[in-house]
Amino acid sequence: WAYYELGWGGWWFWDPVENASFMPWLAGTALLHSLAVTEQRASFKAWTLLLSICAFSLCLLGTFLVRSGVLVSVHAFASDPARGMFILAFMVLVTGGSLLLFAVRGHRVRSRVNNALWSRESLLLGNNVLLMAAMLVVLLGTLLPLVHKQLGLGSISIGEPFFNTMFTWLMAPFALLLGVGPLVRWGRDRPRKIRNLLLVAFITTLLLSVLLPWLLQDRIAAMTVAGMAMACWIGVLAVAEAVQRASRGTKMPPGYWGMVAAHLGLAVTITGIAFS
């Protein structure tokens, strides 16, 4: 309703309240992938704990930003400074206590670190780094105007061009890793095993990313092609890997189908972004 009535348009306005809910999602997504490594390979244990603290702390931060009235937004709830101070105190207590406990006892959490460079663990680590970098970009863009104003340095505005530019650079390698990751084995693998599949996926992605914008929009825009390339790469490889597993008779538990659905959902989301 707000996008239509206020004439904002686009797929995301990068409103502070929208960003407040987006940051925990990014950290939580990184946590889900890190938990997979911890479960399968007993690695990333300390990192997984830190991501858990970060994800919950960002939920509290989002609640504070929405309820306290420190940020102006059409999506914000009724301003209540007293409630905002309570949420802030609770956030400082929980986050500070968790980080202190992690600093004191974190060294006791031991993980396996003998991961090869070309392995699913390494690709998931790259996935985590890019997701957390994206979260930091959103955090910086959301809080910097507030901090700048509170320090008496005047008002600044960080809007759509900053976020779109930063996310384009971060999501391109993220999409690359997201497509390749499920094809690579745990522990150690060889790139040549999936070389032919990647070549076919690359050619298919290249064709679809140019043909679809031309057929659906009668024009070819660079950003639309880039977005469709990311979406097609993720979608094509997700489907190809599922077909490959089915043809080999490999067991595909419910968790695997959840991963496929999530990756295809992201491909659909990127498609919507590219055409909006």
* Concatenated DSSP letters of 110-124: -------SSSHHHHH
Read off φ and ψ for residue 186, nearest 5 degrees. -70, 150
Within 13 Å, how many C-alpha atoms sit on residue 102's CB side? 16
Binned at pLDDT 50, 70 and 90, residue 194 comes out as: confident
The pLDDT, as a whole number, for residue 179 is: 92
In whole angstroms, give the CA distance from residue 102 to residue 108: 10
Domain count, the chain: 2
Same domain? For 268 and 142 the reply is no
pLDDT at residue 222, rounded to an integer:
86
Given a contact cutoff of 8 angstroms between Cβ atoms, the answer to whether 227 and 271 are in contact is yes
Total Cβ atoms within 10 A of residue 271? 19
Question: Is 86 in the same domain as 159?
Answer: yes
In this structure, the answer to whether residues 199 and 182 fall within a common structural domain is no
d(CA 89, CA 150): 19
Choose one of 167, 188, 209: the last residue of a domain.
188
Same structural domain for residues 123 and 205? no
Q: What is the pTM of this model?
A: 0.87
Residue 261 backbone phi and psi in degrees, to 5? -65, -40
Of the three residues 188, 209, 237, the one that is the final residue of a domain is 188
Tell me the two tokens of residue 28. Answer: 């939580």
Residues 173, 268: one domain?
Answer: no
Percent of the chain that is helix, strand, coil (3-state, to 5): 80, 0, 20
For residue 16, name the pLDDT band (cuts at 50, 70, 90).
confident
Claim to verify: residue 114 and residue 172 sit in the same structural domain: yes
In this structure, the answer to whether residues 129 and 211 fall within a common structural domain is: no
pLDDT of residue 4: 61
Residues 90-101 have a mean pLDDT of 93
147 and 45 both lie in a single domain = yes
168 band by pLDDT with thresholds 50, 70 and 90: confident
157 with 184, same domain?
A: yes
Amino acid at 8: W
Structure tokens at 275: 């055409």
* Mean of the per-residue pLDDT values of the chain: 86
Share of the chain above pLDDT 90, in %: 45
Burial 171-184 (b: 16+ CB within 10 A, else e): beebbbbbbbbbbb
Residue that is last in its domain, among 157, 188, 219: 188
pLDDT for position 116 = 76
Domain co-membership, 125 together with 76: yes
- CA 266 vs. chain centroid, Å, equals 10
Residues 113 and 35 in one domain: yes
**Judgement on whether residues 148 and 195 belong to the same structural domain of the protein:** no
pLDDT in tens, 35-75: 998 888 888 888 999 999 999 999 999 888 888 777 665 55
Q: Which domain holds residue 19?
A: 1-188
Condensed to tens digits (0 to 9), the pLDDT of residues 216-230 reads 887 788 888 999 999
